[in-house]
Amino acid sequence: MMKKNWKAWLYLLPAIAFLGVFMVYPLVDVFVYSFEEGYNSASQTFWGTGLYNYSYVLHDPYFLQAVKNTFILVIITVPVSTGLALLISVGLNSIKPLRELYQTVFFLPYVTNTLAVGLVFMILFKKTAYSDGMINLLINFFGGQSVDFIEGPYWAKMLVMCIYTVWVVMPFKILILTSALASVPQSYYNAAKIDGTSKWRTFTRITLPMISPMIFYLVITGFIGAFKAYSDEVAIFGTNLNAAGMNTIVGYVYDMLYGDSGGYPSYASAAALILFAIVLTITVINLMISRKNVQY
């Protein structure tokens, strides 16, 4: 028994060593930095320990803006993208001709580079010397006023950001949901048909419960992914997100480390740990809800 244990640990050793060096050690480091005031990575010095870093970050208007942006993004894009993906998957699942083609089309954004997608959004939304962008052309066509989506009002920028995020995360969700839908055995639908179950009831009472584990998986990973948003913002609004008022928490961390105003690993660590606490809380809540609702 002992011997077997010993062997098991031996087999695990490479993985443990790897994880230790590249995951655990940095995590501990970040944790330590976040309590060291004025830590300087070049000179490896700091002048005190305590909660000052947290207090600074939590009073920094840029950080508060980033938190607000991140939360808006999360709260809007996760439900919207999951719901839309579900709708599209159900549609895809119920059509026969050209299904593969549609599936490919919906999956394209997943394999497209973020920056290329950003470019497409520029064409759609950005005002240039020559045009106001495709969307504005449409708005004008219906008699509306042009809106500056990239440098204009906050709501417009947020709208673009949400549409962009939804668009980027949806393909993966569609992929997961179409395969989940396809794996529901036909005999359940046949049984429902013979019992005279309406389409809507079949969907809510059979289809949804059967794929609910996958939906919860998507919601949880969706929350985590949205809380970590950063590169998508850069793709649309450029690197100076604070100036655009569109920064996110991860963006704030990055700026604190390397940005123009950077060089503050202590603040960055504190912000990162705050983000960690938020994600952990939300995930635990999610898991608790899903425990209750995914019953088999």
Partner 1 sequence: MKVVLQHLTKKFPSRSKKGEEVVAVSDFTFEIPDGKLIGLLGPSGCGKSTTLNLICGLEAPTSGHIFFGEDNVTRLPPENRGVGLVFQNYALYPHLTVRQNILFPLQNLKGSEKLSKQVMLEKAEEAARLVQIEKLMDRKPSELSGGQQQRVAIARALVKMPRVLLLDEPLSNLDARLRLQTREEIRRIQRETGITTIFVTHDQEEAMSISDLIVVMKEGVVHQIGKPQEVYDEPCNLFVAKFLGTPPINVFSGEVRGGVLYIGEDGVLNVKGVSDRKVYVGVRPEGFVLEAAGPLSCALQAVEVMGRDRSVVSTHPAAVSEAIRAIIPSEEEIGIGSDSVRFALKPAKVHLFDAASEERIPFEV
Based on the shown chain and the rule CB under 8 A, indicate whether residue 193 belongs to the binding site for partner 1.
yes
**Of 212 and 283, which CB lies nearer to partner 1 in the complex structure?**
212
Alpha carbon 85 to chain centroid, angstroms: 15
Based on the shown chain and the rule CB under 8 A, indicate whether residue 190 belongs to the binding site for partner 1.
yes
**Of 7 and 193, which CB lies nearer to partner 1 in the complex structure?**
193
Smallest distance, Å, CB 178 to partner 1? 20
Based on the shown chain and the rule CB under 8 A, indicate whether residue 185 belongs to the binding site for partner 1.
yes
Smallest distance, Å, CB 97 to partner 1? 16
**Of 202 and 239, which CB lies nearer to partner 1 in the complex structure?**
202
Residue range at the interface with partner 1 (CB under 8 A); choices 60-68, 188-196, 266-274, 275-283: 188-196
Identify the residue whose tokens are 């970040």: 30
Based on the shown chain and the rule CB under 8 A, indicate whether residue 141 belongs to the binding site for partner 1.
no
Based on the shown chain and the rule CB under 8 A, indicate whether residue 295 belongs to the binding site for partner 1.
yes
Distance between CA atoms of residues 26 and 268, nearest Å: 13
For 56, residues 6+ apart whose C-beta sits below 8 A from its C-beta are 267, 270
Distance between CA atoms of residues 170 and 92, nearest Å: 14
Question: 35, 53 in Cβ contact below 8 A?
Answer: yes
Interacting residues with partner 1 between 21 and 80 (CB under 8 A): none
Smallest distance, Å, CB 187 to partner 1? 4
Helix ranges (H only) for the chain are 2-19, 25-33, 52-59, 61-94, 99-111, 114-125, 134-141, 154-182, 186-194, 199-202, 208-227, 231-237, 241-244, 249-258, 265-293
Identify the three-state secondary structure at position 166: helix
Smallest distance, Å, CB 194 to partner 1? 5
Binding residues for partner 1, rule CB under 8 A, total 19
**Of 160 and 181, which CB lies nearer to partner 1 in the complex structure?**
181
Based on the shown chain and the rule CB under 8 A, indicate whether residue 93 belongs to the binding site for partner 1.
no
Based on the shown chain and the rule CB under 8 A, indicate whether residue 100 belongs to the binding site for partner 1.
no
Distance between CA atoms of residues 41 and 47, nearest Å: 13
Smallest distance, Å, CB 294 to partner 1? 9
Paired tokens of 26:
């940095």
Residue 144 gets the label, from left (phi > 0), alpha (psi -120 to 50) or beta, of: beta
For 264, residues 6+ apart whose C-beta sits below 8 A from its C-beta are 256, 257
Based on the shown chain and the rule CB under 8 A, indicate whether residue 296 belongs to the binding site for partner 1.
yes
Interacting residues with partner 1 between 194 and 213 (CB under 8 A): 194-198, 201, 205-206, 209-210, 212
**Of 210 and 282, which CB lies nearer to partner 1 in the complex structure?**
210
**Of 45 and 190, which CB lies nearer to partner 1 in the complex structure?**
190
Looking at the DSSP assignment, which residues form a beta bridge with residue 48?
37
Please give the residue ranges that form the binding site for partner 1 (CB under 8 A).
185, 187-188, 190-191, 193-198, 201, 205-206, 209-210, 212, 295-296
